[in-house]
Amino acid sequence: MSERPSLWWIDWRLSRGPLVRETIGRFLFFCLLGFALLSLLLSGGVSRILADRFAITAVLRAEVPSAEGEGLARKAAALPPVRSATYRDPEAAWKEFLRAYPGLDPLRGAGENPLPGYIEIRIRPDRLTGEDVDFVASALRSVPLVEHVLAGEEWLPRLLRAGRLASWACWGIFGGFLAAFFLVGRLQERARAVALAGDFAFLAERGVPAGRLAFLRVAGAAISGFLLAAAGTAAGGGALFLFLRKFPFLEGGIGPPSDLLLPRTVAAAALFSCGAALLSAAASLLGWRAARPGRK
Amino acid sequence: MTRGTRRILSVLLAATVSLCILFPPAAPAARDVAAELRKERGRLLQMKEREEKTVQELTEALRMEKRSKGRVGELQEQLKRQRSLLSRIDRKVSALNERLEGTEKAVRKLEAAHGQARTALQRAEVAAFAGQRTGAGDPLHPSARERERHFMRAYLAADAEGVDRITRAQERKAEELSGLERQVAVTEKKMAREKKVGDTLLSRQEEERRRLADIEREKKRKEKELKSLRAKIVRMESVVSRVERQVKERERRAKKWMAPGSAAREPAEAPRRFASLSGGLSAPLAGKVVTRFGRQHDTTFDVTIENRGVEIEAPSGASVKSVGQGEVAFAGAVSGFGNVLIVQHGGGLFSVYGRLETFLVKQGEAVKKGTVVGRLPGSPSGKSVLYLELRAGGTAIDPTSAIPLDS
């Protein structure tokens, strides 16, 4: 009984050196893509940056005492779209104003503080939409203690539109990198198939079906692609975690490191790995077909 | 003319008239005496006129003095009120000036505050609209910029309101200042007017005082003159008395010659002589004796005078009756006594009625006791006074000793 050799990982057996280089390259690329993917997932594109810049200001009436202002801030913080609501009394408002306009301090002399207290309301990044902002602003306007609500009605739609465009651009870039990964992978697969064409012809002459050979190579590429994507994403996530810990000010734009362990983040990373496996398999198949005799 | 003066005059008059009637010139020696008596009477009449005039002038001086003193008192009272009013006005002016000063200070302070506020507002406007702020043009914090713009508007509105408030306060103070200035002007004008009134009052008071001093000098001069006149009258009376004594002596000698052995009648018997008249004596009218006979002290001039008769107060227009039977020896006007009527009762007895308004009998006409001889004059007070004198042998006797009169 003749022993039939296993066709799994045939490329590893036939061309170990180039395959090691390709694997290292793909891992590093997946690390980069994983870092970018997780950053995009955490920041929601530029939503977190916009949410950090945008705030609704509820200007209170002059006679509202601090206790009532703080109570109103707590109520505002309980609204679903609201991330935080901070009350600032007239004294704090006056100091902030004078910090912005330091030259005005000596002008006023002994005059009393003309500014009232206010509540600064920040929206959750994932709820930073025109509807949610309007909802919060309307809720605040209905409160008798509030004299005026500043919600950027004039410029917020433009800002949100710009934010959406920026997010799409980010995801587009990410998609471009994926496409580049696919094209590069296809070229690598084709080149390897051409290089191993003699070996594959030899196997065919001994009765190994070409289809089986191609299938096993695609399956091997998918498994290796999934594992590499998962490992690269994990490594990228780790790097992002360390990066955010080292530079906390970036949390305002990206998000807290703890969000990396959220199930939705992990699920997104797993989905990305699956996608990477599919892309690897497709690149392998297309490379195989491109390397068949009679094709360029 | 005072009552004392009148009495003195009445005595002199009665003596003069009596002597004239009693002793007609019957012999050369008697003619000399009569001539002397006429001469003295003429001098006495002149003196009386002068005295009456002096008394009138003195009385007028006293009245004027009283009136002048009253006016001086009134002027002093007015001056006191004027000074009080001026003092009040002065205090009011001081208070107004203090308020004026305070308001002027407030206006100056408001002007300075207004200038500062306007400057601050202008600089704040420059800072607001020229982007002079830290972090200006930072597009990464649009909400903060929006809030700052809102607060800047509130700041500018508060500053503008402050400027408006100061402007309004300034206008109010300016109006108050204007009102106070008007008040001060009005009050000062009033004070000047009242000062002028006060000056006028002072000058009037000075004038009145000078007039009073003149009156007092005139009064003293008249009193001196009156005193001198009275001294002269006294001397004249002594002359007349001496002449009367000579006449009585002559009469006594004549009676002694006609009825030797008849005893001379003493003056103390005079009332009995009047009582022995046919039909007796009766009161000339119903009234009250207001001036008694004899030496009386005159409080007005502070002198002691000798009354030769009495004065009887009776209703105005009352009829005057003869006290006894006799003949009208004289009816005519005597200076200082008005209309005088003398009735000769015989035996050296005479009754004299002075201050009559009208005579109802004529000289030489016989009258009986109770015959109406005249009437008293009318008077606003409803009272008039009759002068009554009884003379016996050239000597005045107390009528109340011979006639029952109500005293």
Q: Where are the domains of chain A?
A: 10-46+162-291, 53-158
Average pLDDT over residues B324-343: 84
pLDDT tens for residues A37-53?
999 988 887 888 888 88
What pLDDT, on the 0 to 100 scale, is given for residue A154? 84
* Mean pLDDT of the residues in chain B: 80
Does pLDDT of B342 surpass 50? yes
Average pLDDT over residues A280-295: 78
Which architecture, in CATH terms, is B268-407? Distorted Sandwich (2.70)
Flag the least confident range among A11-20, B260-269, B359-368: B260-269
What pLDDT, on the 0 to 100 scale, is given for residue B36? 67
Confidence of residue A236 (pLDDT cuts 50, 70, 90): very high
Q: Where are the domains of chain B?
A: 14-264, 268-407
A17 part of contact set with chain B, CB < 8 Å: no
Q: Does residue A107 contact residue B124 with C-beta atoms inside 8 Å?
A: yes
Average pLDDT over residues B392-398: 84
Q: Which residues contact residue B126 at a Cβ distance below 8 angstroms, ignoring those fewer than 6 apart?
A: B132
Residue of B118, B122, B146 to mutate when probing chain A, most A C-beta within 10 A? B146
Q: Which residue of B120, B143, B148 is in closest CB contact with A53?
A: B143
Intrachain domains B14-264 and B268-407 with the same fold: no
Phi (first) and psi of residue B372, to 5 degrees? -75, 120
In 3D space, the residue among A151, A168, A221 whose CA is nearest the CA of residue A9 turns out to be A221
* Mean pLDDT of the residues in chain A: 86
- Chain A closest CA to B130's CA: distance in Å? 12
B160 part of contact set with chain A, CB < 8 Å: no
**CA separation, residue B3 to residues B203, B235, B303, B341, B390 (Å):** 39, 21, 12, 20, 19
Which residues from chain A sit within 8 angstroms of residue B141, using beta carbons?
Answer: 53
In 3D space, the residue among A271, A270, A276, A41 whose CA is nearest the CA of residue A178 turns out to be A276
What pLDDT, on the 0 to 100 scale, is given for residue A259? 85
For the domain made up of A53-158, the CATH class stated in words is alpha beta
Q: Does residue B373 contact residue B325 with C-beta atoms inside 8 Å?
A: no
Confidence of residue A101 (pLDDT cuts 50, 70, 90): confident
Average pLDDT over residues B219-243: 80
Does pLDDT of B53 surpass 60? yes
pLDDT tens for residues A255-265?
888 888 889 89
The three-state secondary structure class of B307 is strand
With an 8 Å Cβ cutoff, are A104 and B127 in contact?
A: yes
In 3D space, the residue among B93, B271, B312, B82 whose CA is nearest the CA of residue B195 turns out to be B82
Report the complex ipTM.
Answer: 0.72
> What CATH number has the domain spanning B14-264?
1.10.287
Q: Which residue has the higher pLDDT, B124 or B95?
A: B95
Confidence of residue B33 (pLDDT cuts 50, 70, 90): low
Q: Which residue of A97, A107, A116 is in closest CB contact with B148?
A: A97
Confidence of residue A123 (pLDDT cuts 50, 70, 90): very high
Q: Does residue B143 contact residue A58 with C-beta atoms inside 8 Å?
A: no
